[in-house]
Amino acid sequence: MLGMMHFMLRRFLFDLVDEVWDLGDSLLIKNKGLEDTVALTNIINVNDMTSQNWPRIALMLREPCRFGKEIAFSPEGGRRIGKSSPVALDLICKIDCLRDAQSK
């Protein structure tokens, strides 16, 4: 039982970064005293995990940043089981608009 709990915590909580701030066309990521900026155009996928007991958004990056190729964080706003996070929806819309603008 302890092994299963450790696996779940490691998989869903231990890899979360401390803070993610929206700067408009990029994200400021803070973790353990370190910072990095990721352009929204560098984000390939936004995965909003709505079936979890804790909110979690995972960003897959085209080019790795200081924290790796996947950034996971827990957005503010509490649990939303079965509902998409407003933070994730906002990120998806911004990324889509940037991609549209680049393709024109």
CATH number at residue 46: 2.30.29.210
Q: List strand residue ranges (DSSP E) for 2-102, in order.
A: 19-22, 26-31, 34-39, 43-49, 56-65, 68-73
The count of structural domains within the chain is 1
Q: Is 24 within the bounds of a domain? A: yes
2 within a domain of the structure (yes/no) = no
Does residue 65 lie within any of the structural domains? yes
In three-state secondary structure terms, 77 is coil
pTM, 2 dp: 0.80
Query: What pLDDT is attached to residue 14?
Result: 62
What pLDDT is attached to residue 41? 93
Within a domain: residue 9?
Answer: no
Residue with structure tokens 């940043």? 65
Tokens found for residue 62: 């085209």
For residue 82, is it within any domain? yes
For position 94, what pLDDT does the model report? 94
Quick check: is 3 in a domain? Answer: no
The answer to whether position 91 is within a domain reads yes
The first and second tokens of residue 84, run together, are 């998409």
Secondary structure letter of residue 81 according to DSSP: T
At a CB cut-off of 8 Å and minimum separation 6, what does 41 contact? 25, 95, 98, 99, 102
Residue 45 in any domain: the answer is yes
Low-confidence ranges of the chain (pLDDT < 70): 5-14, 50-53, 77-82
Residue-level pLDDT at 79? 58
Q: Range of 88's domain? A: 15-103
